[in-house]
Structure 1
Amino acid sequence: MRGALIVALACLALNTAEAQTVNKSKFGKGLQFIAADSSFSLKLGTRFQMLYQGAINNSTDQLDDRFLIRRARLKFEGFAYSPKLEYKIELGLSNSDIGNDDPARFNNADNIILDAVAMWNFAPNWELWVGQTKLPGNRERIISSQKMQFVDRSLLNSRFNIDRDAGLQLHHTHTMGTTVVRESGSISMGEGRDITVNNAGGYDYTAKIEVMPFGEFEGGGAYVGSDLVREETPKLAIAAAYNFNDNASREGGQLGDFLVDERDLRTLFVDYMFKYRGFSSMAEYANKTAPAGPVVLRSDDGAVEETFVTGNAFNIQAGYLFPSNWEVAGRYTTYNPDKATNLRSQEQYTLGLSKYISGHSLKVQSDVTLQDQPGRENAYLFRLQMEVAL
């Protein structure tokens, strides 16, 4: 089924290419086509990340390492019928992209579809999104995996982000002098992407507000890692988001294992992004709670067997891009799960070095991370990754 879908989409792109005229195609921007009668457009893009990673534990000095394709993506986007109705389809092809539902509770399905969303600009500064895509949650998650400052996202994001979901989103933007304000909200299924069964609990609700007091970033830089455009004037974005997942059934809400019982989950995100002349800084705080208690299953001796992931985390990072397009960056992350979950807290200290050959479309990134977990020996994680995006 997965192969048939990919073949069908590839055939559609090729047939479109034969019938249309190439328009503005260049490296990193994909193949772009527009209909002769301007009734639709199509941009086809593809990219992959080749990753080497290794880990050393202080107590054993043993090296565990591997090579893998971290991500491999196909992306189709453009407008349909009118420039006011845009669409985006993104497919994940690597094992890390796909993942699976729990076959013990649901039909086992390949999660090949990352995004499948239509965006309707129905009035000035208003957009209605219909389909599956990222929820308006924490900034680090919304930043594309192609456009990150480090090899991968932080521990805060992996533990608490609300990821993608299927449903409706409403987005609004307005200005007050030089200040730009964005509001967004969503109602979605609550179980994450590519779920084909009936809603296991209630729906998921998200609200977000973002303020940019010095105006818009160049090139959408509020959601791009590093200051590749070297902002001529200081740019700042401050945002807060709140998510309520009614009777969530997965340990992270939209992510993780399905559990034997359900809980209401409430998540608060606060973040900022700052950029100026090659310097960039981003910080986030996340807090997730389950008012009825996160633990849903214990063994006969009282040990936690199944729990929702609740607690708080903080992440801050900064970097400077030199004129040579080499960048040095540092990141600190602390993760503090609720005591009841019996999960281990952790601190991470990361130092990164990146070379941007053609922006985020062709780059080599590396980082070294010290992982500090109470009650365990410290460990070092080092990674080297190449990104190629056409």
Structure 2
Amino acid sequence: MKFKMMVAMLLFALTTVKAQEYNAPKFGKGLFNLVGKDSSWTMKIGLRAQFLATSTWEDGASNETSFLIRRSRLKFDGYAYSPKLKYKIELGLSNSDLSGASQFTSNAPRYILDAVLMWNFAPNLEFWFGQTKLPGNRERVVSSSNLQMVDRSLLNSVFTIDRDMGMQLRHHFDLTNKFVVKEIVSLAQGEGRNVTTGNLGGYQYTTRLELFPFGDFEDHGDYSGGDLSREETPKLSLAAAYDFNNNAVKNRSNQGSYMANDSGFYETNTSTLFVDAMFKYNGFSFMAEYADRSAEDPYAKNADGSPLLKDGNQVVVEVGEGFNLQTGYLFKSNWEVSGRYTSIMLDKNITGKNPENQYTLGVSKYIVGHHLKIQSDISHLQIKNDNDELMFRLQCELSF
């Protein structure tokens, strides 16, 4: 309740600024761009929401339809004291943003998505400290407001390492006058965002290397869906990331469910490998991702070595692999047609889960880029020896 009152008071205070004292920025550039009198700080305040309608059909089952505010968020970013010390804060307000309250988050909603300081302490070198996305799979790092389709793929759902609290070191350099190299290393707590009770296992170590043989993308297009910048020359990003979660206590590295046993938690070293690519040229875009998760011992156990069971089933780490291919073409009318193929192949001998293949066809209309757009897609999910599923989605994105 206190948090909601604080947000309401902040919005009221900002909206009561006299019109003659403040000129609002262009649509999509934030609600307010504030600058201190001595220019020692800045703050851009943004607001966004996604409105989603979904309809699904399963073999032998009736149709299910739902309407949802998929995301609703407040964003703050700028610099403090010096342009070399930047910050980003993002708060989630929708039910899906807040979900996941547990004893490990002090039984409180998970309001905070990002709260991170970024210090550019040397040329081409930044130190990040706080809670933010880890440098894992590309699709996850792409903002949900900049997606080419209604939402991310099944690969992201199963393998992402999402957000965590810790430190990151980011560096880039020019190998030639065009060839750019970017490197990231990260140390995190290893249990996901907003955890207040930790560290239960060990730490999580992540590294990512990105190669740009034809130079950097326009407008950070390597982390944005679709070629809205209509790259005048071919642009390519090739990347690989490796994540090692020492003594992980969750069944999906730092995501999924805690593996609680009779003495506390089952712990096992979990590794995840990501390889991905992004290509864009003149309205055409193509993205490919591969993920592989392994564990030192994927079978969870109690202290005496007996199998850890839940609802009569063996608790395991979800090990296996998946890949995702996605492409699209943006017409000059700012209509885009896109397609995606995703395959998830968890180790059935361990997880008991059958392979899944999903085919998706999407259509998007960009009214003001990613800030105001309408997107729709239809997906066919094939599960071996199980029911198939057909899903239709319609979504509107509005962001200031």
TM-score class, shorter-chain normalisation, is: over 0.9
Distance 2:322 2:198 in 1: 32
Q: Answer with 219-228 or 295-304: which moved more.
A: 295-304
Letter in 1 for 2:206: T
Alignment of structure 1 residues 234-273 onto 2, 5 Å: 234-260=234-260, 261-273=266-278
Deviation sequence 1:40-87 (CA, Å, 0-9, x none): 000000000000001011323x11010000000000000000000000
Alignment of structure 1 residues 45-64 onto 2, 5 Å: 45-60=46-61, 62-64=62-64
- Do the aligned partners of residues 91 and 319 (structure 1) sit closer, same or farther apart at CA in structure 2, a change above 3 Å counting? same
Alignment of structure 1 residues 134-145 onto 2, 5 Å: 134-145=133-144
Letter in 2 for 1:233: T
- SS of the residue aligned with 1:256? strand
Distance 2:101 2:224 in 1: 30
* Structure 1 match to 2:297: 292
Q: Answer with 339-348 or 87-96: which moved more.
A: 339-348
Q: Structure 1 residue 313 and structure 2 residue 322: aligned?
A: yes
Q: Would the aligned equivalents of 1:22 and 1:34 in 2 still touch at CA under 8 Å?
A: no
- SS of the residue aligned with 1:152? coil
Letter in 1 for 2:102: D
* Structure 2 match to 1:373: 383
Alignment of structure 1 residues 1-390 onto 2, 5 Å: 1-7=2-8, 10=11, 22=22, 25-30=25-30, 31-60=32-61, 62-103=62-103, 107-177=106-176, 178-260=178-260, 261-296=266-301, 298=307, 304-339=313-348, 340-390=350-400
- SS of the residue aligned with 1:307? coil
Q: Where does structure 1 lack aligned partners over 5 or more consecutive residues?
A: none
- Do the aligned partners of residues 127 and 14 (structure 1) sit closer, same or farther apart at CA in structure 2, a change above 3 Å counting? farther
Distance 2:33 2:299 in 1: 48
Q: Would the aligned equivalents of 2:259 and 2:300 in 1 still touch at CA under 8 Å?
A: no
Note the C-alpha offset of 1:146.
0.1
Q: Answer with 130-139 or 106-115: which moved more.
A: 106-115
- Do the aligned partners of residues 13 and 343 (structure 1) sit closer, same or farther apart at CA in structure 2, a change above 3 Å counting? farther
Distance 1:27 1:302 in 2: 51
Distance 2:271 2:10 in 1: 38
Distance 1:27 1:330 in 2: 29
Distance 1:85 1:21 in 2: 27
Q: Where does structure 2 lack aligned partners over 5 or more consecutive residues?
A: 261-265
Note the C-alpha offset of 1:208.
0.5
Letter in 2 for 1:293: P
Deviation sequence 1:233-263 (CA, Å, 0-9, x none): 0000000000001111122222222112122
- SS of the residue aligned with 1:251? strand
Identical pairs, percent: 50
Distance 2:121 2:309 in 1: 57
- Do the aligned partners of residues 286 and 294 (structure 1) sit closer, same or farther apart at CA in structure 2, a change above 3 Å counting? farther
Letter in 2 for 1:186: S
Letter in 2 for 1:312: E
Deviation sequence 1:277-332 (CA, Å, 0-9, x none): 00000000000111212444757899534222211000000000001000000000
- SS of the residue aligned with 1:334? strand
Letter in 2 for 1:344: N
Deviation sequence 1:106-132 (CA, Å, 0-9, x none): 631211100000000001100000100
- Do the aligned partners of residues 53 and 78 (structure 1) sit closer, same or farther apart at CA in structure 2, a change above 3 Å counting? same
Q: Would the aligned equivalents of 2:200 and 2:249 in 1 still touch at CA under 8 Å?
A: yes
* TM value normalised by structure 1: 0.94
Distance 1:197 1:237 in 2: 38
Q: Would the aligned equivalents of 2:91 and 2:111 in 1 still touch at CA under 8 Å?
A: yes
Distance 1:307 1:225 in 2: 34
Distance 2:274 2:58 in 1: 32
Q: Would the aligned equivalents of 2:298 and 2:319 in 1 still touch at CA under 8 Å?
A: no
Number of equivalences: 387
Distance 1:389 1:301 in 2: 42
- Do the aligned partners of residues 228 and 201 (structure 1) sit closer, same or farther apart at CA in structure 2, a change above 3 Å counting? same
- Do the aligned partners of residues 338 and 14 (structure 1) sit closer, same or farther apart at CA in structure 2, a change above 3 Å counting? same
Q: Answer with 105-114 or 73-82: which moved more.
A: 105-114
- Do the aligned partners of residues 300 and 13 (structure 1) sit closer, same or farther apart at CA in structure 2, a change above 3 Å counting? closer
Distance 1:269 1:88 in 2: 26
Note the C-alpha offset of 1:141.
0.2
* TM value normalised by structure 2: 0.92
Distance 2:382 2:206 in 1: 33
Distance 2:112 2:239 in 1: 28
Distance 2:370 2:145 in 1: 6
Deviation sequence 1:201-225 (CA, Å, 0-9, x none): 0010000100000001000000000
